[in-house]
Structure 1
Amino acid sequence: MTNNSHPPILTTGLQAHIAKAIGDAGGWIGFDRFMALALYTPGLGYYANDSRKFGLMPTGVTTVGGAGGSDFVTAPELSPRFGQALARQLAQALQATGTSEIWEFGAGSGALALQLLEALGPLVARYTIVDVSGSLVQRQRERLAAHGGKVHWVSELPAQMRGVVVGNEVLDAMPVKLLSRLENIWHERGVVVHQERFTWADQRTELRPPLEVAGIHDYLTEIHPQAEGFVRTLADRLEAGAVFMLDYGFPEHEYYHPQRSMGTVMCHRGHLSDADALVDVGSKDITAHVNFTGIALAGQDAGLQVLGYTGQGRFLLNCGLLDGLENAGLAERAMVQKLITEHEMGELFKVIGFATNSPVQPYGGWQAMGFAQGDRTHTL
């Protein structure tokens, strides 16, 4: 699968670093390792370098390659109403679990943290951000300066924690393993160096998708051991509280549909998307859709209760997104529409919630408002 348009790999420090890792591993690394290096290598990876990543494309900007100043937009950048609606759910969860701390994973630009802090006020005694990106942490510190007394940063989970956990577009950035079925034989897809370029290479494997994929046609997909391991670790360390994860993805039977034969890995730069993760490494995001069935089972097997699962649009409506919108201007209404309409973020993005079995509210003791109508847990 060599592509002559690929740039030489030694043109950047990150590419040279990955090439050395491939050599040190015997000439081949799995895609999950490649993705981790591309995104998180300290000082060089996409999330660890100083490039601007989050924000709206300025009006009238049509240039390619990030000239608009950012690569993609997340829901909090579209409208502060996103954070205000989510805050209503978090407030209910704080009260139901008898906790007073918010834990946010991968806080990005800090936009969501600011919205939640302003909306929750005294309900939150401490707001802890878990982020591995030094450049993003600096941006968050600047944005959240007014709340400096409450906000704290850590780079890894503590041994024990209490509070309500939130992660918006976090799971999709966790490295995935690629599996390819070629001539009815399963392989793990990885990366090698060929003619000074990164190139795909497959090795036979005993790994399989969690569901059997009907047919014998060639098929490419992902499995998510790191995201599922993250949820299990979270469950192990969360003594009391709740978890809400928002991301794009599908339940298992949709994820491994026979017709979804090209996988879901995508790259994002300059508000444009492409499917070639081996090009321009370090200058663009690499993501994969979430298998929410796997996430639900990982949490449940580790002792968490699934509070609910639904589309982002329904979740936000349940949390009062439209309250007071009749007084909003046209531009604000348009942004809110993007959050909830099916052809925008409302259906592709999903929300899953978990809770611990706390003495304040045992399992089943409270109904999370975000799932009060339209809960789809039965489809997982």
Structure 2
Amino acid sequence: MPELPMPDADALAHSERLRALIREEIVDAGGAVPFWRFMELALYAPGLGYYSAGSTKFGRAGDFVTAPELGSLFAQCVAEAVAPVLRQLGSEAQFVEIGGGSGAFAEALLARLQALDALPARYAILEPSADLRERQRERLERATSPSVFARVRWLDRPQEEAWNGVLFANEVIDALPTPRFLIRDGEVFEEGVALDAQDRLVPAWFPADALLAGGVRHAERYLETTFAEGYRAELLPHLPYWIQAVMGGLREGAMLFFDYGHPRREYYLPERGNGTVRAFYRQQVHNDVYRWPGLQDITASVDFTALAEAGTQAGFDLAGYCTQSGFLLGNGLQQRLEEAEAQAPDEQARLRLRNEARQLTLPDAMGERFQAMGFSRGVDFDAAFAFNDLGWRL
């Protein structure tokens, strides 16, 4: 495991407050809580969880760098892909972003959509963190014109009323609290979190409920095999319910998701028998997810076959699936880069742009580790995936 920099005293005290809350819930539950509940508390406990507290998370000063934090090229390409959808839907079309991060994506996307004469009637951000919401508000008010900023809204919950437009999420599904399973004596067990004799957080196991066990057996039928004894991994049986919840009243339009992960046949390879859950802290990845709750991100890779199933179960057509590199190159990355280089003030700025494009597209960076999946209903969105559609891998 990598050597991690020690948090300061205030950060450690914050983490200990969250750890105490987790311990209390474990005791109240009779000795263990499901892993997904530990992950939910570690990430989202009000005022204490990683995404609920006020520390810097995104960018080079935080714990990880997302595609929008590298620069504006990612959002510009997404704008090129969704602008035709917004035009098809007309003047009342909306764009809803789940989890707005620092606001960098919204800033760049709105600027490009304005240049394309395809601004949505409303740009809504579904953001559970009050701290991030305020940062987004300050950034967008500063960076956009009053007429554009007037279109931006923040949502406390998904829009239940009918709406048409685009639903977008970048690196959101990987942070959904996920159940973990273990195969023991041919049966499905669920991983929990308990306390050892020294009051430390440790794994525990108990028989899986019908939803998780059914999801595991569904995956086995799809793979036409059975998981080996001791196989341990993640599975999101509630993903279809989450999709239907966040889309709310979306009637016509598109959904677009970016995340790191694999199609099911690669996700559950025998050599990946200990799952994909890991933690991010100060730009380093490690496996000790119980260390410093509230100070580190906890994620799991996405089963893109499960996402395809969830989107189509919600009544949408699968528009396409490809690597992030394929999506960006198919939606104008080379042109956007050339335009940006032509406007750059000096060679150093041009070098930063080229490095941004390389980071977004190189296989050993974000290009293939991250993937894109789109869905559509009542609109044509397939063209956004025409460059390198990998739906056959699902």
Give, in whole Å, the separation in 1 of the partners of 2:123 and 2:14: 41
- What is the CA distance between 1:283 and its match in structure 2? 0.3
- 1:19 and 2:12 matched: no
SS in structure 2 of the partner of residue 345 of structure 1:
helix
Q: Which amino acid aligns with 1:211?
A: A
- Tell me the amino acid that sits aligned with residue 205 of structure 2: D
Answer whether contact 1:184 1:218 (CA < 8 A) is retained: no
C-alpha distance in structure 2 between counterparts of 1:367 and 1:198, whole Å? 46
User: Residues 10, 88 of structure 1: CA spacing in aligned structure 2 closer, same or farther, 3 A cutoff?
Assistant: closer
Amino acid at match of 2:191: R
Structure 2 distance, partners of 1:284, 1:107, is: 19
Deviates more, 1:319-328 or 1:336-345: 319-328
Are residue 330 (structure 1) and residue 357 (structure 2) matched? no
Deviation, 1:312, is 0.5
Correspondence 1:189 to 2:191: yes
Show the 5 A alignment for 1:29-108: 29-56=33-60, 69-98=61-90, 99-108=92-101
How far, CA to CA, are the matches of 1:229 and 1:83 in structure 2? Answer: 28
Q: Which residue of 1 aligns with 2:219?
A: 211
What SS does the aligned partner of 1:45 have? coil
Separation in 2, partners of 1:10, 1:92: 46
* Secondary structure of the corresponding residue to residue 354 of structure 2: helix
Would the aligned equivalents of 1:178 and 1:220 in 2 still touch at CA under 8 Å? yes
- Write the deviation string for residues 115-141 of structure 1: whole angstroms up to 9, x where unpaired: 111111252221100010111111101
Change over 3 Å in CA distance of 1:118–1:199 after alignment to 2: same
Q: 2:159 is aligned with what amino acid?
A: P
* 2:177 maps to amino acid: P
Q: Which SS does the other structure have where 1:152 is aligned? A: strand
Name 2:204's counterpart in structure 1. Answer: 201
Number of equivalences:
355
Equivalent-residue separation in structure 1 for 2:293 and 2:247 (angstroms): 33
* TM-score in terms of structure 1 length: 0.88
- TM normalised by structure 2 equals 0.85
* Distance in 2 between residues matched to 1:216 and 1:268, nearest whole Å: 29
Indicate the SS of the match to 1:127.
strand
**CA deviation profile, 1:245-301 (whole Å, cap 9, x unmatched):** 000011111111111111000100100011111111110000000011111111112
> SS at the partner of 1:294?
helix
Cα distance change of structure 1 residues 117 and 235 upon mapping to structure 2, 3 Å threshold: closer
Q: Do the aligned partners of residues 10 and 168 (structure 1) sit closer, same or farther apart at CA in structure 2, a change above 3 Å counting?
A: closer
Of 36-45 and 150-159, more deviation after overlay is shown by: 150-159
1:143 partnered with 2:139: yes
CA deviation after TM superposition for structure 1 residue 9, in Å:
10
Q: 1:271 to 1:39 in 2, by over 3 A?
A: same
Amino acid at match of 1:144: L
Once residues 105 and 389 of structure 2 are traced to their aligned partners in structure 1, the CA distance between those partners, rounded to angstroms, is 24
Could you tell me how far 1:306 is from its partner in structure 2? 0.8
Q: Deviations over 1:153-174 (max 9, x none)?
A: 0121121232111101011110
Cα deviations by residue, 1:181-217 (Å, 9 ceiling, x for unpaired): 2454431111012222111111122515232254634
User: What RMSD, in angstroms, separates the aligned Cα atoms of the two structures?
Assistant: 2.1
CA distance in 1, matches of 2:322, 2:354: 22
Q: Residues 152 and 235 of structure 1: is their aligned pair in 2 closer, same or farther, counting only changes over 3 Å?
A: closer
Alpha-carbon distance between aligned partners in 2 of 1:9 and 1:78, rounded to the nearest angstrom: 32
2:391 counterpart of 1:377: yes
